[in-house]
Each structure stands twice: as C-alpha cells, then as structure tokens.
Amino acid sequence: MMKNVLLGTVAVLLIGVAMYRFFRGKAEDAPPSGGLTFVCSRCNLKFEVTYAEWDRITNDRRLFKVPDQHTKTLLIKCPKCNDFTAHKYEEPEPPPPEGATPPPQ
Ligand SMILES: [Zn+2]
C-alpha cells in the first residue's frame, strides 16, 4: 500500500516537471519584446527605440547620420542632447565558437 502511494507521488512529480519544462520552453521561444537599445556617447543616456520607430528612422535620411562609411556606424538623435550622438548599444557577447559563420550584420 505504501509503495503504491510512493509510486503515485513520483509519477505526479515527473508530470509536474515535464509540464514545467514544456511551458518554460514555450515562454523562451517567444520573440524578444521591446526594441533596440541606444546609448549616447556624450551624456551616456541609454534609451530604447521600438522596432516601429527604428523603421521610421532608417527610412528618413534626416533622422540618422552615418559619419563613418567604413564601420557604417549609425547615429541617431539623443533625446537629451538633441544631437546625433547616440549609437546602438551592444551587449558584450562571448566570441563565437571557432569555425562558426559570423552572424549577418
Ligand atoms: Zn545625450
């Protein structure tokens, strides 16, 4: 009798873990929300640009600047300085494994 209760408890635990993994996996597959993070090189202000806004900016030559044609660094207006001093903020990433193809820029 005790053995059956124990087996039942183990089964419930296993189902719980499976369900937890299932739902957690689903949540991780969701596309990242928000937008792109920019940082101002003058005042260090970090601000977010939504993907819709980013589309609008890149479609209007007056809303961005490319001061360096070699690196193609794109500068947008910092809301605080009101000048083209903000560039895309890149989280420090670990280097890709040897032989891996670099991600498209
Ligand atoms: Zn600024």
pLDDT tens-digit series, residues 50-96 = 999 999 999 999 999 998 788 888 999 999 999 999 999 987 777 77
Boundaries of every domain in the chain: 37-88
C-alpha 69 – ligand 1 centre gap (Å): 22
C-alpha 18 – ligand 1 centre gap (Å): 48
In the prediction, which pLDDT does 30 show? Answer: 45
C-alpha 46 – ligand 1 centre gap (Å): 9
Q: Is this structure's pTM higher than 0.85?
A: no
For the chain, the first-to-last Cα distance in angstroms comes to: 63
- Give residues whose Cβ lies within 5 Å of ion ligand 1: 40, 42-43, 45, 78, 80-81
More confident residue, 54 or 97: 54
Phi, psi of 6 (to 5 degrees): -65, -45
3-state secondary structure the chain: CHHHHHHHHHHHHHHHHHHHHHHHHHHHHCCCCCEEEEEECCCCCEEEEEHHHHHHHHCCHHHEEEEECCCCEEEEECCCCCCEEEEECCCCCCCCCCCCCCCCC
